Amino acid sequence: MTRKELIDHIGEKRSFLCVGLDTDIRKFPPCILEKAGDNAYEAIMAFNKAIVDATAPYCVAYKPNTAFYEAFGTEGWRALADTFAYIRANHPRHFIIADAKRGDIGNTSAMYARAFFNDLDADALTVAPYMGSDSVKPFLGFDGKWVILLALTSNPGSMDFQLTEDKDGSRLFEKVIRESSTWATPEEMMYVVGATRGEMFRDIRRCAPDSFLLVPGVGAQGGSLEEVCRYGMTDDCGLLVNSSRAIIYASSGEDFAQAAAEAAKAVAGQMADFLGTYSKI
Amino acid sequence: MTRKELIDHIGEKRSFLCVGLDTDIRKFPPCILEKAGDNAYEAIMAFNKAIVDATAPYCVAYKPNTAFYEAFGTEGWRALADTFAYIRANHPRHFIIADAKRGDIGNTSAMYARAFFNDLDADALTVAPYMGSDSVKPFLGFDGKWVILLALTSNPGSMDFQLTEDKDGSRLFEKVIRESSTWATPEEMMYVVGATRGEMFRDIRRCAPDSFLLVPGVGAQGGSLEEVCRYGMTDDCGLLVNSSRAIIYASSGEDFAQAAAEAAKAVAGQMADFLGTYSKI
């Protein structure tokens, strides 16, 4: 998907919500589990299809988190592939992010690119920057595909290394953004920036004025959507804000899909206001 | 597997070789491909079983690289799981490393731990440090299981961020080792240190005097085994040196398994000499 297609979708829908499919069977509504019996594949697919169909009117992106599928082995991987295919077939305008945080030496990253861009047909893949340029570049150059590079994450451990200052006073996450900006354009690279430090978005925008940012940490992790938008939004939005647990587990009753839709709709309502205030789309 | 069991195996076999199963169908001998037809699972399993059985006398560890399996989707993941099971059943003393370079926020890392330690029964998992302590700790505390944390990798891009000096002159890879040493003991954490910079092992041993190091980059990537041993070996060895392509693709003829065995045997012969010179086992 091109940047323009993504922005057009955000503009029409008045939402920049990404729904994270951190699909955890242990949190599934009993009605799903009863129907699927002990078939993990059936349970995951029934849950994901219901959540996706219910939330699609209020979001522009989905982000399956690969860990939750790998935990179920071969059947989990099949559910991951079929979830991608289901979204692609039924909601073709939605941007699909494989949240896999991959990154390895060149020939290995090239294999991951094949897995996620060719086999699963993801629009984007999250990538870890620790191994540097030749671990990231094999993911670039796929038509309409995106790298989303970890910059400043939303978890407490982000303070361990990402904030380390070098001799010139640059923090590691800033160095990651600056260096990687020479590898790719804002048409093919985004950054992960956690919502838990809203004021940091000012610093991020100094390094990456035009890039889209994928923002986890609103909702269960406590970040403020208002601060993210005030400091991080650009004229053409430039944000995809993810929410996982607060939406997909909004209810554990038979109304779980309806509750997810309502939770997504509520966030999208706030987003429409912020788009009016801080963007030009 | 405990540290003592690993060291005992190295001592008896006079080898600290890890064979990397970067199993790439495009490089398979024609005899394998002809027999398997277009069945990727059958081809991967036939190749891996032959390589593992042929090289087992000369190595102490195997390292399937998950990217190469994920590239074949569900069938690839099944081949990954069955490769783990095959090694476990037929070569139970061998240490099995899932080279997956995972790492994510706490609840996600916990799901990856479940995938690799419970479902695949790996002895160890490679983990990326960028997201800090709470992305690594969920992999700790599994009885006999190991985290192998990326410190200084063997690829050119390792220079982009891993060598960045902070205000006190510590490089990022040194900070990663020092910080993470407070999270886990050398009984449950190793480090990835590339062989391509032999002299760096002196600096590594200042930060991690007792830890095992997993060392890629000997062979196809050009590192010197002698330098790695001179600067990196400890009294109880403390090294697992990986070779992938130079062993598993030693021949593309019908003798591919025999050629792999000979390549592994040659490396093991050198290793026996270095164990005599630099270790006490």
Closest partner residue to A78 among B74, B119, B133, by Cβ?
A: B74
Q: Report whether A152 contacts A194 (CB < 8 A).
A: yes
Query: Quick check: B101 and A102 CB within 8 A?
Result: yes
Measured from the Cβ of residue A128, the count of other Cβ atoms closer than 10 Å reads: 27
Closest partner residue to A73 among B107, B119, B135, by Cβ?
A: B119
Q: What is the pLDDT of residues A184-202, one digit of tens each?
A: 999 999 999 998 878 899 9
Residue A79, token pair as written in the block = 């559910």
Chain A residue at shortest CA distance from B116 = A71
What percentage of residues in chain A have a pLDDT greater than 90? 95
Query: Quick check: B133 and A109 CB within 8 A?
Result: no
Query: Quick check: A104 and B67 CB within 8 A?
Result: yes
pTM beyond 0.80, yes or no: yes
What percentage of residues in chain B have a pLDDT greater than 90? 95
Query: Quick check: B104 and A129 CB within 8 A?
Result: no
Provide the pLDDT for residue A215.
97
Chain B residue at shortest CA distance from A216 = B105
SS (H, E, C) A110-174: HHHHHHHHHHCCCCEEEECCCCCHHHHHHHCCCCCCEEEEEEECCCCCHHHHCCCEECCCCEHHH
Residue B184, token pair as written in the block = 């886990």
- How many A×B Cβ pairs under 8 Å? 187
Sign of the dihedral defined by the CA atoms of residues B106, B111, B115, B119, in that order: positive
Q: What is the pLDDT of residues B15-33, one digit of tens each?
A: 999 999 999 999 999 999 9
Distance from CA of B135 to the nearest CA of A (A): 7
Residue B26, token pair as written in the block = 């495009």
DSSP-derived letter for residue B94 is S
Query: Quick check: A128 and B128 CB within 8 A?
Result: yes
Residue B150, token pair as written in the block = 């990326």
Distance from CA of B41 to the nearest CA of A (A): 12
Q: Residue A158: its chain B contacts at CB < 8 A?
A: 131-132
Provide the pLDDT for residue B230.
95
Residue B111, token pair as written in the block = 């799901």
Q: Report whether A119 contacts B139 (CB < 8 A).
A: no
Whether B101 is catalytic is: yes
Interval B145-170 mean pLDDT: 96
Closest partner residue to A134 among B108, B128, B156, by Cβ?
A: B156
Interval B221-228 mean pLDDT: 87
Provide the pLDDT for residue A222.
74
